Chain A
Amino acid sequence: MKNFLGKRAFASGLSLVGLVVLVFFLSRLTGDPTDLYLPLDASLEAREQFRELNGFNDPLLVQFGNYVWDLLHLDFGQSIREARPAIDVVLEGFSWTLSLAIVTMTIVTIAAVVIGSLAAFRVGGIFDRIATFFSLIGASAPDFWIAIVAIVIFAVNLGWLPTSGTGTIWHWILPVAVLFVRPFGLILQVVRGSMITALSSPYVKTAKAKGVRPRPIIFVHALRNGLLPVITVIGDQAAAILNGAVVVETIFGFPGIGKLMIDSILQRDFTVVLAAIMISALAIFIMNLLIDLAYAALDPRIRY
């Protein structure tokens, strides 16, 4: 177990290094941020001073070396746009996105698992058909379209829900609902398929022969086996939201990490972009670890 964690940490550390190199140099390809930050009529001296202050005049490799050195001291640099530590800006956005991901994925998982399991219990039945129909639509609908339609109906026409911000619980309903649709459709399909296999397995036959009631057969005997492939997909979908639900966050003005990254890229706030990518990568690493641990917790045959 310890060995496993060590190996995973080492491998993830390597990919983080690669990521830093890649993103640092890629971001410098987009041009000099000075022009964007200073007013058009700023003097040459002012521009030069700005460059000097932010180290843009140094050779690229020196800039990179400085950056890595600071990183090693857990200093992600200053956000140019907000004039405060980049890491603070990023963590603020990340905490919003994390809440959004947790709320959405919890609802998605419960709904998809329950509905998918019930659909698998009577394959081809009316419940199964309805569930499959809606899940396929959900899995294939583009989220920007759903978002716009949802705004038109619930915010503009009916006036029930606010369209942007995070002030009250009402503000959360539309973003969560829109983010819910696609993972729900996908995960429901996986749950259904996996549960069909689990429910036709020999051990379920044994349970029937023992006189176990239908509900425990589904949710005790089959589900714990059927969940294994589902966990991977849940992780995948959660990662997609964590990485920044860029479209949805932008449409609903949600101050998450996705929106932050887009804004920072557009404004060449490199320190923030780099910090955001790093935090996202770290989050993905932790989540993959959690998935592995969940596997081991669900299936005693898996030991690291």
Chain B
Amino acid sequence: MADHLLEVQNLSVEFHTAQGTVKAVQDVSWHLDRGETLAILGESGSGKSVSASAVMNLIDMPPGRISQGRILLDGRDLLKMTDEERRRINGKRIAMVFQDPLAHLNPVYTVGWQIAEIMCVHGTAREKARAHALALLERVGMPEPEAALDKYPHQFSGGQRQRLMIAMAVAMKPDILIADEPTTALDVTVQAEVLSLMQELQRETGMGILLITHDLGVVAEIADRVVVMNGGRIVETGDAAEVYRNPQHPYTKKLIGAAPGKGQMPEEMDRDGEPLLSVQMLRKNYGAFQALKGVSFNIMQGETVAVVGESGSGKSTLARAILRLEEPDGGKALYRGRDLVSMDLKELFSLRRDIQMVFQDPTQSLNPRMTVFQLISEAWVIHPQILPKPHWRARVAELLTKVGLHPEMAQRYPHQFSGGQRQRIAIARALAMEPSLIICDEAVSALDVSIQAQVIELLDGLRREFGLSYLFIAHDLPVVRDFADRVIVMKAGQIVEEGAVRQVFEAPREDYTRALLAASLDPDPEVQAARREARRKMETAAA
């Protein structure tokens, strides 16, 4: 009899690329038992998903190759089985839920068909499978399950799609559910719902859950044990709470140290005098849909104002409307007393250098065919009065040093940098304009935790050095708590609460803010357990 339900022993996987062999994971061992949740925690490039892909036979070979190791399911080595044998295990005994359910559901088939399919390929009759699919949709809390069967994936919201993926995965009552970043890119309240759904299903069926994540908060919320990976190797493994309280490996310590949400919150600053930016009753409609329903707030010189809210709350539209990347339908945005909304394009052009924007995805916001030097100096091509050409080279070098990059990197192209470095380039580009206000639209959301902390530190340093102001748009509350002076909570195009960061986080006035805070995940398993309790109370009180 085998010791464990699923056991990976000394697994090494390599990929043969044009640049040579890349060792994705080396000598990785872990195990999973019935009814428990194991989390594999790691940043991008750590190889955290590779062993799960090996379990599911999803590694393309070539270029991939499993150079050593065994994967035992009930003591039988999966790697020695034929493709057909493994196909019969996939979906039936081991099922998988992926990140980004929109991409992972087939866009051209109805969800009812797709859920029924997993049962049909494992031998269930069509009609029976469809009836069961309906029951599954009811089980995962899909509204109007009957109608949902005949809809297509694009007709659902992000959270609903992940429920569909989960319904599909648990259709055959698998022994093991592998979830690869299942809640990344979901709103915090939706994330909490999806995670608790997975836990409920686990209690019902006793399945083992393997959770792959970069988020310490997710680990704290549902994992029993955790495997920490870095650079393709396991650096630490153990009880989730134990690892958090008493990390052994320096990498784990660094990762836990970098988790946002623990810093000192700033004191409320003096907000007398003329604001740098004063937004008054700003409105924006898309057809009949009101994206901004009259939003008003002020940003003072040197102040960081964070806008938080879930997707669809209008926070990004707000940023774009202020800069007139989208024309607002009404209201004012007074920058040093001059109205950005009503000024003519020429005046706006000269003012734009004062207000710069840093976007979420530096891969897309940096032109891949321009060198770093060209990207940064483009600012001076457009606004020649800032800096005469002979000084460009020296200034680019200076800016690169300022954002923590090497001046010699100026001749490289964006694809030669990591995600965090690219975001630094984007910040250097914004700084080249010598702005007074930088609007960050989810500027650190796509970055790994440790990189995120570095970029936040950089932004904070620049604020102190140049007296910059930030409008910081984010969905991640712990980051906001560390970085912002003031918080604006938005919902459905309106501000529901505004206040100093300490007031909003420690004494929220609105139910919606309280719900957001309760749903946000803390990296500390004990804090998280307490929050879970608080959330349950709020739910029972509501019901």
Contacts and interface: CB of A to CB of B under 8 A. Distances in A.
Bound pair (A, B) = yes
Given A202-B100, A301-B154, A208 B105 contact: no
B228 interface: no
A206 B105 contact: yes
B152 A205 contact: no
A212 interface: yes
B92 interface: yes
A301 B109 CA distance: 10
Best-surrounded residue of A201, A210, A212, A300 (most CB of chain B within 10 A): A210
Interface in A205-262: 205-213, 216, 221, 224-225
A209 B103 contact: no
B117 A210 contact: yes
Interface in A54-93: none
Interface stretch (B35-43, B83-91, B480-488): B83-91
Given A202-B100, A203-B103, A203-B105, A211 B58 contact: no
Contacts of B90: 208-211
B95 interface: yes
Contacts of A299: 107-108
Contacts of B107: 203, 225, 299-301
Contacts of B57: 208
Nearest to A209: B96
A298 interface: yes
A207 B118 CA distance: 8
Nearest to B60: A200
B121 interface: yes
Interface in B37-57: 56-57
Interface string B68-94: 000000000000000000011111100
> A-side binding surface: helix, strand, loop or mixed?
helix
A209 B152 CA distance: 20
A299 B108 CA distance: 5
A205 B104 contact: yes
Contacts of B89: 211
Contact of B121 (A205, A206, A213, A298): A213
A211 B118 contact: yes
Contact of A209 (B91, B109, B122): B91
Interface size class of A (residues with CB under 8 A): 20 to 34
Contacts of A216: 121
Contact of B108 (A207, A209, A213, A298): A298
A225 B152 contact: no
A212 B91 CA distance: 9
Interface string A42-64: 00000000000000000000000
A209 B87 contact: no
A62 B88 CA distance: 78
Nearest to A298: B108
A213 B87 contact: yes
A208 B117 contact: no
Nearest to A221: B106
B129 interface: no
A202 B165 CA distance: 13
B472 interface: no
Best-surrounded residue of A201, A207, A213 (most CB of chain B within 10 A): A207
A45 to B, nearest CB: 71
B477 to A, nearest CB: 29
Given A202-B100, A205-B58, A300-B152, A211 B87 contact: yes
A225 B108 CA distance: 7
Contacts of A221: 106
Interface in A273-290: none
Contacts of A301: 107, 152, 154
A39 B98 CA distance: 81
B103 A201 contact: yes
A203 B152 contact: no
Interface in B132-188: 152, 154, 165, 168
Given A203-B103, A205-B58, A205-B98, A210 B108 contact: no
Given A202-B100, A301-B152, A210 B168 contact: yes
Contacts of A207: 106
B98 A206 contact: yes
A207 B117 CA distance: 9
A84 B210 CA distance: 79
A300 B118 CA distance: 21
B104 A211 contact: no
Contacts of B103: 201-203
Nearest to A203: B106
Nearest to A228: B108
Given A203-B104, A221-B106, A298-B108, A211 B88 contact: yes
Given A208-B90, A211-B89, A225 B106 contact: yes
A268 to B, nearest CB: 52
A211 B121 contact: yes
Contacts of B100: 202
A301 B121 CA distance: 26
Interface string B114-126: 0001100110000
A216 B121 CA distance: 10
A209 B121 contact: no
A1 to B, nearest CB: 17
A203 B122 CA distance: 18
A206 B57 CA distance: 12
A202 B152 contact: no
Contacts of A209: 56, 58, 90-91, 95-96, 98
A249 to B, nearest CB: 38
Contacts of A213: 87, 121
A213 B87 CA distance: 7
Contacts of B154: 300-301
A105 to B, nearest CB: 23
Contacts of B152: 300-301
Contacts of A202: 98, 100, 103-104
Contacts of A211: 87-92, 118, 121-122
Contact of A208 (B56, B88, B108, B168): B56
A300 B108 CA distance: 6
B170 to A, nearest CB: 12
B391 to A, nearest CB: 46
Nearest to A206: B104
B494 to A, nearest CB: 31
B121 A210 contact: yes
Contacts of A298: 108
B118 A210 contact: yes
A211 to B, nearest CB: 4
Interface of A: 201-203, 205-213, 216, 221, 224-225, 298-301
Interface of B: 56-58, 87-92, 95-96, 98, 100, 103-109, 117-118, 121-122, 152, 154, 165, 168
9 contacts: A202-B98, A203-B107, A208-B58, A209-B98, A210-B91, A211-B90, A212-B121, A221-B106, A300-B108
Given A208-B57, A210-B117, 7 more contacts: A202-B98, A203-B106, A206-B165, A210-B121, A211-B88, A216-B121, A301-B154
Give 6 closest A-B pairs by Cβ, nearest first: A211-B91, A211-B90, A210-B91, A202-B103, A209-B96, A203-B106
